[in-house]
Structure 1
Amino acid sequence: MTAKPVPEGRYVTLQSGYKMHLIDQGRGPVVVFLHGSGSGACGHSNFKHNYPELVAAGFRVILIDLLGYGYSDKPADIDYPLELFVATVKETLDIVGVERYTLIGNSLGGAIALGLALAHPQAVEKLVLMAPGGVEDQPEYFKMPGMALMKEVFMSAEPVTAARLKDFFIRGMVVDPSVVDEQTVNERFQLMQLQNPQVVRTMKVPNLTQRLHEIQCPALGFWGADEKMMPESGILKLVHGVKNLRMIVVPRCGHWVMVEHRELFNRMTLDFLQHG
């Protein structure tokens, strides 16, 4: 039997019949990690350098593979708007039986965290956001050099090999190439083979900027100073929009702050979770 590329946790079945995969570890206050939309993304692959630290510090950590990603179901006959991700994550957490939680999300996962905080404020205790989506109109994202590189790699006729995927991560997602290790490339490449193109083709994330003032819970933001995927105008939109947000701009950092500066991210996140 071929080994699975990342650890397998448990599954829950939604009312729609779709199965959602999650890793559920530890005991204590609940922290939910929400990954981004990149090829081969999943909960473990995005946050493997982070969630064990939170478990060790006394938190219950839940990593959800979003619908269309990882080991969760990947229906090819539906569209994937933000509302679908918000609803399926919320239903997954309801089935697991958790009512209050902190959300940690990067990129698309950050947009989902914002969407959940707006739709279900009674459930969200705190937010940790790493360069979240959902604060710009779509054309602004496609002006970014990382997005242009993503289009070049994933929409060309040339096959996406593990080497091309690694090159994309190095040029588009980070500043320090040494953090893009072979294990990460290999697991993401294998998971990418499981995906169908429908999720990326039909994904729609609205601009939530005008609603950010509705979010009242404490929030912590991270933004790489060398971000190539998200327009830096998002920094001030979040700072001025989310009333109780503290923003950390990380020097020599790209889109993957939780990977590239994992010790800083873990330390600051734990301090926020424990002390606010």
Structure 2
Amino acid sequence: MNDAASNPEIGKRVVAAGIETNYHDVGSGDPVLLIHGSGPGVSAFVNWRLSLPALSPHYRVIAPDMVGFGYTERPTAHRYTMDNWVTHIVGVMDALKIAKARVVGNSFGGALCLALAIRHPERVQRLVLMGAVGVRFQITPALDAVWGYEPSFENMRKLMDLFAFNRNLVNDELAMLRYRGSIRPGFQESFAAMFPAPRQRWVDAMASPEEDIRRVEVETLIVHGRDDQVIPLSNAYKFMELLPRAQMHVFGRCGHWTQIEHADRFNRLLLDFFGEADAA
């Protein structure tokens, strides 16, 4: 692995649920836990690099690389399931002595955070679902392409176009950065093991039962890009229907990268939503 001093994706390390875990821990105060998405070459830092500095003046912000991603250990024969990923999140919280947190989940991470709120409601103070998986839907061609990624610069460049509405955010430099991330030793092997075809079954496996979602009592903010090609906007409306204490914000002219395409407004939205809990 690259030296942490020269690679911002490498943060601190802790053993969580028996897995040596790379994580970022910045700021102080009440904890906010950020759970990244499942794109190839992703890491917590890549996903949350614009949110970490915006939130950390107000909160202690923790962003782990989930097992199978980034610079967290990839145990031999590890089974990549929602049960095991949720266990890993709880392990991170336990290892860092975090009893309860404001939790933000992006895409795949949204499904994990929703499952955390269902299974461990005492650990979640507020919940944010951003472009989230977690209910049943027909897999989109874009998500099928993301989960079926085969490493090449050309393939990564095509995926970048699927993520962003604003094509000015997508250039060869970004695609090359993400492509290089996807071919680091062990990265593609674990990624390919997670979502083999046929991939509709993994959408279904990441979905929580609707009756369980209806019982989630934590205040929830649903955020989605209107023009998201990867996860359909209908997911956000479904969450809004099911979650009893939900509010929703839909960004126009925005794809799957809400936290990047509308970073300032997204971060202000989080701070306002979290601040309501502080004032209560």
Fold-level match, TM-score > 0.5?
yes
Instruction: Determine the C-alpha separation between the residues in 2 that align with 1:245 and 1:83.
Output: 24
How far residue 181 of structure 1 moved from its aligned partner, in angstroms, is 5.4
1:167 is paired with a residue whose SS is helix
- 2:225/2:233 contact within 8 Å kept: no
- Structure 2 matches for 1:91-110, cutoff 5 A? 91-110=91-110
1:29 aligns with 2:30: yes
Instruction: Determine the C-alpha separation between the residues in 2 that align with 1:215 and 1:229.
Output: 25
1:82 aligns with 2:82: yes
What residue is the counterpart of 2:10 in the other structure?
Answer: 8
- 1:49/1:258 contact within 8 Å kept: yes
Instruction: Determine the C-alpha separation between the residues in 2 that align with 1:150 and 1:15.
Output: 28
- Residue in structure 2 matching 1:150, options 136, 146, 161: 146
Structure 1 runs of 4+ with >6 Å offset: none
Q: Kindly tell me the number of residue pairs found equivalent between the two proteins.
A: 264
Identity across matched positions, percent:
26
How far residue 15 of structure 1 moved from its aligned partner, in angstroms, is 4.8
- Residue in structure 2 matching 1:188, options 166, 178, 185: 178
Instruction: Determine the C-alpha separation between the residues in 1 that align with 2:234 and 2:180.
Output: 34
- 2:40/2:191 contact within 8 Å kept: no
- 1:76/1:196 contact within 8 Å kept: no
How far residue 128 of structure 1 moved from its aligned partner, in angstroms, is 1.0
What residue is the counterpart of 1:245 in the other structure?
Answer: 246
- 1:45/1:187 contact within 8 Å kept: no
Deviates further, 180-189 or 122-131: 180-189
Instruction: Determine the C-alpha separation between the residues in 2 that align with 1:6 and 1:180.
Output: 20
Normalising to structure 2: TM-score of the pair? 0.87
Residue type matched to 2:183 in 1?
Answer: Q
- 1:176/1:260 contact within 8 Å kept: yes
What residue is the counterpart of 1:116 in the other structure?
Answer: 116
Instruction: Determine the C-alpha separation between the residues in 2 that align with 1:24 and 1:181.
Output: 30
- 1:227/1:254 contact within 8 Å kept: yes
How far residue 2 of structure 1 moved from its aligned partner, in angstroms, is 5.7
What residue is the counterpart of 1:202 in the other structure?
Answer: 194
1:177 aligns with 2:167: yes
1:217 is paired with a residue whose SS is coil
Instruction: Determine the C-alpha separation between the residues in 2 that align with 1:43 and 1:84.
Output: 18
- Residue in structure 2 matching 1:166, options 157, 161, 173: 157
- 1:174/1:253 contact within 8 Å kept: yes
- 2:124/2:218 contact within 8 Å kept: yes
Residue segments in structure 2 that go unaligned for 5+ positions in a row: 196-201
Question: Residues 19 and 183 from structure 1, CA distance in 2 versus in 1: closer, same or farther, beyond 3 angstroms?
Answer: farther
Residue type matched to 1:167 in 2?
Answer: K
Residue type matched to 2:109 in 1?
Answer: G
Question: Residues 206 and 2 from structure 1, CA distance in 2 versus in 1: closer, same or farther, beyond 3 angstroms?
Answer: closer
